[in-house]
């Protein structure tokens, strides 16, 4: 029997990898849109937060660029929330549902599964972020003037890769920490809004705090994108965009490698100890 079993050749292994990525992205891209409550929770509520900041800034006579910063920051919170709650905690939920054992047992790699989750989450969130950006920009009369379109695309791509790399890495961590991770996620949510400068230029926090906050890819990503979308915003920029591009590229490598290493460790632990795929204990 064993001699007749086909072992996947190299080309098929790649094909399987991409099929898995696509298939695991599907529930997020297609399935999540079926829950119509996202329009309220993911669009309406963030716009309320944005509106609060906009009215405060206008009341205190803050520079007009701040209005655009807030709208952009509000749109980018969708990605942070998605990474924190849907990406980082996802393996834990997969375990609880009984999917994790089926994923580990299947011939496809766990990295492909995680990548699919990330890609699906990113695409689904892109829709939400775009709607927030569009409605926020229209409501508060924000003028977007893109300085360098392709550089903007590059910054966005690197920010998303590093951010979801961080999400993939923390997915394994959350699984290992189990319920304690829930508290960590709660703890991380609001402080990151503050230190990553979602609603104001991160430069205002001072160099060292901003540098520390740059471990979260959205800090540098948001700062660079603001400089590329609002030409007069360079005076509020934390670092030169080119330096931020390099920083984001380094974060991409660190987080993706970290995700792979932690995933391997998690899978090994699951098989050795038998507790990570067990949802009934």
Partner 1 sequence: MILAIQTNHLSRIYKIRGGKKNSPKELVALQDVSMEVHPGELFGLLGPNGAGKTTLIKILTTLLAPTSGTALVCGYDVVKEAHKIRPIINMVSGGESSGYGLLTVRENLWMFAQFYGLSSKEANRRIAQLLEVVGLSDRINTKSSDLSTGLRQKMNIVRGFLTDPQVLFLDEPTLGLDVGASRDVRRFIRQWLDDHPERTILLTTHYMAEAEELCDRVAIINQGRVLACDTPASLKHHLQREAIYHLEVSQVENHYSEHLKAIQGIRKFLLRPRDGYAVLELILDQDETLAAVVNALTQNKVRIINLQKREPTLEDVFVDLVGKSMEDIERGNNGANPSES
Contact residues toward partner 1 (CB under 8 A) are 1-3, 5-8, 12, 15-16, 19-20, 22-24, 26-27, 30-32, 34-35, 97-99, 101-108, 113, 270-274, 277-278, 280-281
Block residue for tokens 């993706």:
256
Residue 91 or 225 having the CB closest to partner 1: 91
Alpha-carbon distance of 278 to 96, in angstroms, equals 8
Residue 106 or 234 having the CB closest to partner 1: 106
Write down the least CB distance from residue 91 to partner 1, Å: 14
Write down the least CB distance from residue 166 to partner 1, Å: 24
Write down the least CB distance from residue 36 to partner 1, Å: 11
Residue 3 or 141 having the CB closest to partner 1: 3
Residue 99 or 189 having the CB closest to partner 1: 99
Write down the least CB distance from residue 46 to partner 1, Å: 22
Write down the least CB distance from residue 54 to partner 1, Å: 34
Residue 48 or 105 having the CB closest to partner 1: 105
């Amino acid at each position: 029997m064993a001699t007749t079993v086909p072992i996947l050749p190299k080309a098929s292994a790649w094909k399987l990898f991409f099929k898995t990525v696509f298939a695991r992205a599907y529930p997020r891209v297609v399935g999540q849109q079926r829950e119509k409550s996202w329009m309220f929770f993911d669009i309406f509520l963030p716009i309320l937060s944005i509106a609060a900041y906009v009215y405060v800034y206008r009341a205190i006579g803050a520079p007009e660029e701040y209005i655009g910063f807030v709208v952009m920051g509000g749109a980018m919170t969708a990605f942070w929330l998605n990474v924190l709650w849907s990406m980082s905690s996802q393996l834990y939920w997969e375990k609880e549902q009984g999917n994790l054992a089926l994923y580990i047992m299947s011939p496809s790699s766990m990295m492909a599964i995680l990548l699919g989750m990330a890609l699906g989450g990113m695409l689904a969130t892109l829709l939400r972020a775009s709607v927030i950006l569009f409605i926020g920009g229209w409501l508060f009369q924000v003028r977007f003037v893109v300085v360098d379109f392709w550089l903007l695309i590059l910054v966005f791509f690197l920010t998303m890769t590093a951010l979801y790399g961080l999400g993939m890495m923390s997915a394994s961590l959350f699984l290992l920490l189990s319920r304690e991770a829930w508290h960590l996620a709660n703890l991380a949510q609001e402080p990151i809004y503050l230190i990553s400068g979602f609603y104001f230029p991160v430069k205002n926090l001072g160099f060292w705090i901003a540098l520390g906050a740059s471990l979260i890819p959205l800090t540098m990503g948001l700062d660079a994108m603001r400089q590329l979308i609002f030409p007069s915003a360079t005076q509020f920029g934390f670092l030169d965009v080119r330096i931020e591009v390099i920083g984001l590229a380094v974060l991409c490598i660190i987080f993706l490698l970290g995700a792979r290493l932690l995933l391997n460790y998690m899978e090994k632990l699951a098989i050795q100890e038998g507790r990570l795929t067990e949802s009934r204990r």
